[in-house]
Chains A and B, each alone.
Chain A
Amino acid sequence: MTDDRDVLRDVWFGRIPTCFTLCQDEITEREAEPYYLLLPRVSYLTLVTDKVKKHFQKVMRQEDISEIWFEYEGTPLKWHYPIGLLFDLLASSSALPWNITVHFKSFPEKDLLHCPSKDAIEAHFMSCMKEADALKHKSQVINEMQKKDHKQLWMGFQNDRFDQFWAINRKLMEYPAEENGFRYIPFRIYQTTTERPFIQKLFRPVAADGQLHTLGDLLKEVCPSAVAPEDGGKKNQVMIHGIEPMLETPLQWLSEHLSYPDNFLHISIIPQPTD
């Protein structure tokens, strides 16, 4: 269906207007102007902020600079979480642009992983893809690929090349003719209100009777508090890529069309905004 392929493009090209401001504690030789950038929802902070880094380092002395890290309203931003996920989870109810604070010192070791190089981002990205395929196909599809296919996935992702990426990724979205979907759906459900980083469990896209499981079925099974019945109207928003898909949407379809490039559905459960 042409419509479905459009969804893939819309997801890939989603952007978040962001304003980067240097933390006031940082020592500068001149005034640091804020830096504006459209961030790709599907990418990672450390992959797309070289220009941000250069912009602020221009007004700083070399000795005051160590590893860059980002923070939103006091919360350090994990670079290894997709940008769109971070925004939906932490800032979707606030006005745009997304205001992110940039730091070059006091790296919060307890909250963030270090990002020593682009290779580290590639390793993380490929590992997520492998984990997703372990769930979808017992790793058979990704293991059958050649090294150059893996490289093409990364290069396509890194360079924002939709066609280059999907030429290979489409194979990861296939399933045997006799099945109705993947073995298990790769998903992670995030909430800011709980201690655990995220919920990830085994969940089949198809029920024993052949019925397709829906997003609602998934939530009821693994995160029932998220879709609790109306008690005082405290319903949460269930958000993926900045939208709230209908709970009746088949999970298999969501997995094929609304996954991030790492092949995971990263789902945010957030309190209903009070405007």
Chain B
Amino acid sequence: MAEEPESVLQLPPSTASGGEGLSEVSPETVTPEPPSSAAVSPGTEEPAGDIKKKIDILLKAVGDTPIMKTKKWAVERTRTIQGLIDFIKKFLKLVASEQLFIYVNQSFAPSPDQEVGTLYECFGSDGKLVLHYCKSQAWG
């Protein structure tokens, strides 16, 4: 079986900044990444810098935390860390009472109300924000 290319999927839109509802999302507005499965029209021009509504996040598991099958996500800038945590927990089928910690730069855990857009601005590199997630406190 050929290795499935990393696909950039849409994080489902949230109704409130924290609330999550998983729904089928069409990939038509996916940010340009190489996967063959996503229907990205080559003519789509990605507006530069701040105007880009979504940012790319790469999720990495720490320790024995389950690994997400899809690691790359296009996320709205205003999505909060709590919103992301709720989404990952649902995706990994974790119980609500189980904790999940998210780290930036493998050094600090941003506040749950932090917007990913701000984190991307300050700590993104190579066009994406890398976030490590863990069921226990990894970096204090």
Answer yes or no: are A and B bound together in one complex: yes
User: Given A134-B107, A139-B105, A139-B107 in contact, is the A200-B122 Cβ separation under 8 Å?
Assistant: yes
A155 at the interface (CB under 8 A from B): no
B115 at the interface (CB under 8 A from A): yes
* Total count of chain A residues near the partner, CB < 8 A: 23
Which one of A110, A130, A184, A197 lies within 8 Å of B107 (CB-CB)?
A130
Interface class of chain B by DSSP:
loop
A123, B18: Cα distance in complex, Å: 21
Interface size class of B (residues with CB under 8 A): 10 to 19
B113 at the interface (CB under 8 A from A): yes
A127, B113: Cα distance in complex, Å: 13
User: Given A110-B16, A143-B107 in contact, is the A134-B113 Cβ separation under 8 Å?
Assistant: no
A53 at the interface (CB under 8 A from B): no
A201 at the interface (CB under 8 A from B): yes
Report the minimal beta-carbon distance from B63 to chain A, rounded to whole angstroms: 18
B42 at the interface (CB under 8 A from A): no
Q: Return chain B residues, CB-CB under 8 Å to A113.
A: 111-113
Can you identify 18 A-B contacts, CB atoms within 8 angstroms? A80-B111, A110-B16, A113-B111, A127-B111, A128-B108, A130-B107, A130-B108, A134-B104, A134-B107, A134-B123, A135-B122, A142-B107, A184-B122, A198-B118, A200-B118, A200-B121, A200-B122, A202-B121
Nearest 8 pairs between A and B by C-beta?
Answer: A130-B108, A127-B108, A131-B108, A139-B107, A200-B118, A127-B109, A130-B107, A201-B121
Chain B residues at the A interface, C-beta cutoff of 8 Å = 16, 18, 78, 104-105, 107-113, 115, 118, 121-123, 140
Chain A residues at the B interface, C-beta cutoff of 8 Å = 80, 110, 113, 123-124, 126-128, 130-131, 134-135, 139, 142-143, 150, 184, 196-198, 200-202
